[in-house]
Amino acid sequence: MTKKKILLNAFNMNCIGHINHGLWTHPRDNSTQYNTLEYWTELAQLLERGLFDGLFIADIVGVYDVYQNSVDVPLKESIQLPVNDPLLLVSAMAAVTKHLGFGLTANLTYEPPYLFARRLSTLDHLTRGRVGWNIVTGYLDSAAKAMGLSEQVEHDRRYDQADEYLQVLYKLWEGSWENDAVLNDRQQRIYAQPDKVHKVEHKGEFYQVEGYHLCEPSPQRTPVLFQAGASDRGLLFAGRHAECVFISGQTKASTKAQVDKVRASAVEAGRNPEDIKVFMGLNVIVGASEELAWAKHAEYLSYASAEAGVAHFSASTGIDFSQYEIDEPIQYVKSNAIQSATKHLQNNDWTRRKLLEQHALGGRYITVVGSPEQVADELESWIAETGLDGFNLTRIVTPESYVDFIELVIPELQRRGSYKTAYDSGTLREKLFHQGPQLPRQHTGSDYRH
């Protein structure tokens, strides 16, 4: 029986402090170079050498001002502040790679769909079909206020808006230009055939769009669609639209339950359960031996900032943890923040001490520590026991975390038959799903084609 091949994205962000906060102070970390092209082109080449499926770039609009009701800690520890635009990185990285995919986060709440469709089509052309879009609706009141709203749109209502946004995009990406619209005939002086290019007319609750898509069909038309909503409404949205779903697991049992829910949501939307690839965020600290790995773990801990991690988590939940005494039970409060983040606070059995312990490495993702064999054992175990397809691998110290994984873990996984030894040809969608470059027929987006 052929072993399931583990899919792998590098998880990063166009900023200094991403998930594991405080590690920017480590002497071997180069994340303060995030605002240079070389930082990104060298990273892209490194990841392609490791046969990573993609570079998943997170993003945030707004600032983390819930903790202490200020941005003091985010500014001092660079908790995703400053943060630059992720989409502008892609052209440079695509120019120095041939296969690496790019999962790009963009908040649809503040992006008009007509112009956004052009930006993604442009990148899909320039990368020859290596682009994915991580669909987010935002969760920060600071972003809403910065964009002229008095407060964040209510959680489920944001998904209603997102559903219509995707409708508009499908009409532009899938329906405006027919496959054979472009003739490119110099003798007849016809580049595109007018009868095969169609005006989009959308009159909805949130969007009014009348116009032609500005781009000819790109290799994938619709980029690979990523999403990370774990609420009931988020799962409904994922079942309809998502091709890759990103989850944050804490135990194998709870992760399996999440994976099963995601696959069930696809089936409810008339799709196949395997039409969605599920990735989990993960920290890996690996050494040539278990002893060396734990020594590295201890070294990293000495630079990490647990308080910065808790300040980040405050924004995710909408709860100011700084107002609680160290052992005082934290009261659950329903908010418009990330529903999955607040879920495990609902028992009111969490304290600030417990949160600081959880965030000892500056973030709250599962951390796998050990020799190459031990790490490979654990990754294979997570895949086998949960139904996951792969991982979003965080950076703890950059680029060291990726270098260590590529040099130590990947050869071990390849030896076991759990990881590819070469890239498949084709677009990002073809590499992930081994089907055609465009949305499959059972995906709702295909309904908008001519």
Residue 47, φ and ψ in degrees, nearest 5: -65, -35
Pull the structure tokens for residue 397. 């110290």
Total domains present in the chain? 1
- Ranges of the chain whose pLDDT falls below 50: none
Residue 65, φ and ψ in degrees, nearest 5: -110, 20
Residue 362 placed within a domain: no
- C-beta of residue 256 within 8 angstroms of C-beta of residue 387: yes
pLDDT single digits (tens) 4-60: 999 999 999 999 999 999 999 999 999 999 999 999 999 999 999 999 999 999 999
Residue 436 placed within a domain: yes
- The SS3 call for residue 133 is strand
Pull the structure tokens for residue 280. 């989990």
Pull the structure tokens for residue 140. 């920060």
Reduce the secondary structure of 138-175 to three states and give it as a string.
CCCHHHHHHCCCCCCCCHHHHHHHHHHHHHHHHHHHHH
Angle between helices 252-268 and 232-241 (to 10 degrees): 60
pLDDT at 181: 98
pLDDT single digits (tens) 240-292: 999 999 999 999 999 999 999 999 999 999 999 999 999 999 999 999 999 99
Strands (E), 231-276: 244-247
Residue 316 placed within a domain: no
pLDDT at 316: 85
Closest C-alpha among 111, 109, 206, 198 to residue 167: 206
pLDDT at 154: 87
Residue 57 placed within a domain: yes
Residue 311 placed within a domain: no
Q: Residue type for 350, please? A: W
> Which structural domain, as residue segments, surrounds residue 111?
7-284+369-443
292-298, Cβ contacts within 8 angstroms, sequence gap of 24 or more: 293/369, 293/370, 293/371, 293/374, 294/369, 297/367, 297/369
Annotated binding site: 59, 105, 155, 159, 231
Give the C-alpha separation, 151 to 167, whole Å.
25
Give the C-alpha separation, 388 to 431, whole Å.
17
* Residues pairing with 244 in the sheet: 226, 277
CATH code at 249? 3.20.20.30
Residue 154 placed within a domain: yes
Pull the structure tokens for residue 406. 């590529």
Residue 146 placed within a domain: yes
Cα Rg of the chain (Å, integer): 22
Residue 25, φ and ψ in degrees, nearest 5: -85, -10
Pull the structure tokens for residue 213. 């898509």
pTM for the whole structure:
0.95
Helix (H) or strand (E) holding 184: strand 182-185
Residue 1 placed within a domain: no
Annotated binding site for FMN: 59, 105, 155, 159, 231
